[in-house]
Structure 1
Amino acid sequence: MPSINAISVDKLARLIGTPNCPAIIDVRTDEDFDAQPRLLPASARRRHADVASWAGEYAGRSVAVVCQKGLKLSHGVAAWLRQAGASAESLEGGSDAWFAAGMPALPHAMLPRRDAQGRSLWVTRERPKIDRMACPWLIRRFVDPGAVFLFVKPSEVLGVADRFDATPFDVEDVFWSHRGELCTFDVMVEEFGLAAPALRHLALIVRAADTARPDLSPEAPGLLAASLGLSRMFADDLAQLDAGMTLYDAFFRWCRDATGETHNWPSNRPGA
């Protein structure tokens, strides 16, 4: 009988990638993690043995806790989090059930280092338009919700990356950049193991808009227009990114849930 304090694989999968996704905490032992070194999207690893010291960080938040099989570790940590003021649930069946269902999973080897506050740090060119907005959206929704982004003068990206231990993206001669006909967003979707149908569809729209190939997707001109509009509305790149998160949330939900829906103005005029 399922626990009232558990969340199913299917339900969590529907929440990941949306603004309503709970914080996802992986509390597998090192031994269990090393046997399957992949993470649920948007999740972070924490030590179950130290939960008393970090549970308070999640007060007032929704949390999904993941262990290998969805048993003692995740239920115990979730209980600790609830007594600390969080709304916490254990993932039914744990990571084993998630992987068995063929859900997206992040290869640990592809993830950048995190700082002392548990955040990944990224740097790219200032004045973002499409790829440099889409990639931060993907990272915050599917890789690291707390990711920090630095937008700097193009000539300084690599130097800033070196001095501040940041991961550069969408510039020449770095790993996270265009490859052939693919844009950086395409590369991230593939390398992070996130190639589910909705993100593949969104990647095609982003590529079409970012590389001036409207023939690839009829939605690309709309994304381009909205992106250029945002770039003129905001002088501050971070304020623009905050607004762009909602734009990409909407495109993602359309790709996932609404591609078959149409809209037409109903007319009651005689003879219409």
Structure 2
Amino acid sequence: MDLINKVALVTGGGTGIGSAISQELAKRGAKVAVNYSRSEAGAQEIVQRIKAGGGEAIAVQANVADDEEVRRMVAAIAEEWGTVDVLVNNAGITRHIPLEDLEAVTDEVWNELYNVNVKGMFFCARAVAPYMNKNKHGAIVNLGSIAGTTGSGSSLPYAVSKSAVHGLTKSLARALAPAIRVNCIAPGAVVTRWWAGREEQMHKLAPNLPLQHLSTPEDIASFVCAVLEQEALTGQVITLDSGQTM
């Protein structure tokens, strides 16, 4: 898919990996809707950066875990630009809970992580699908994680939710073919605000990776765009982790 003049929605697009994805899509000529739930200032900053670089962007608010909010958001984007061609399901949350502390994994934690990380991606995909089907062309990229493959991560529910994202990707790829391609990128450790307060752990990890460096948000953003542009790719979960799980 040529991204020039395509309308792209990036959930959680104002911070971290999402902000890098929003800006990379704009550099490649896409019109970018930068979604945020609470981080309006971050989303507006990314919109201004894109506009300053000659691109087109708007900030759109919605909690992806709320189906009605998602549908209103997508309708607003379509009203602004006529359609939605690309969806990057980046929004996600976690809770930091030691893997062995099963008692700390409450119903609230399960529901919060599943509502955003899994159901939120489904709601967004469902909301954009009619526009993509009408155009007979569209692409979705979900952000998974190596936690969904290894079973280890910031918490047990997080790892399980990302495993569900990998499965959701394959199911959506079948359900939405042939008009819409659906793929997933599963990053390893990425240098973002997630490491705040854990910098020592981050610095210890990097030299032990085969490539001896952690991925950057820009690495992920570039690969997201490459996946979107590849017309022969669907239903795939692609790991990007500097060899961490090799």
The TM-score normalised by the length of structure 2 is 0.32
Larger RCO of the pair (alpha carbons < 8 Å, separation 6+) = 2
| Bigger-Rg structure (1/2) | 1
